[in-house]
Amino acid sequence: MNAHAHVLATPIGPLTVVAADGVVVAVRFAAPDGSAALQPGDGPATTDPEVPVEPVLAAAVDQLHEYFNGARQEFDLPLEPTGTVFQRRCWAALVELPYATTTTYARQADRLGDPRAVRAVGAANGRNPIPVIIPCHRVIGADGRLVGFGGGLAAKAWLLDHEQRTAGAQLPL
């Protein structure tokens, strides 16, 4: 695997974007100490304001900058999240969620054809290796509360509020 990484400065903290062999394979939130979440095998890393040499990584960085600046609502990138068949089905369903909307784990399980799979859907979403681009932040608890997010609930709230603001509405949080 020929991987490259880029550490992107964002309003929710540094995100490490990893691409390999022409596809985006990971977006990681900062480590607990606030440092970049680089892992062995990520390959050479660049940081803002450098422009990555790898074309798909450069496109991902550009599109994430546009998203955080409010100029992009959908990503157009080749993605290859690593996971089980069920996890990949869950993540594919997340990509279909419209910008600035939310759903619940139960509704996502219903859409996947198994209303009893609520916990499995939650677990799959929790293992999403490409958050923000695969928008697991748009899934909330059945009671409307923000629950479970790898980047923390403050980041989830920021992302949802950002989407609502840029879509011209306010989410009551």
Residue 2, both tokens: 């020929």
Q: Please, what is the Cα angle at 41 between 17 and 88, to 5 degrees?
A: 60
Q: How far apart are CA 18 and CA 41, in angstroms?
A: 10
Q: How far apart are CA 72 and CA 46, in angstroms?
A: 23
Q: How far apart are CA 39 and CA 136, in angstroms?
A: 22
Q: Quick check: is 136 catalytic?
A: yes
Q: How far apart are CA 170 and CA 173, in angstroms?
A: 9
Q: Is the peptide bond before 49 cis (omega within 30 degrees of 0)?
A: yes
Q: Which of 94, 136, 139, 155 is catalytic?
A: 136
Q: Which are the catalytic amino acids?
A: 136
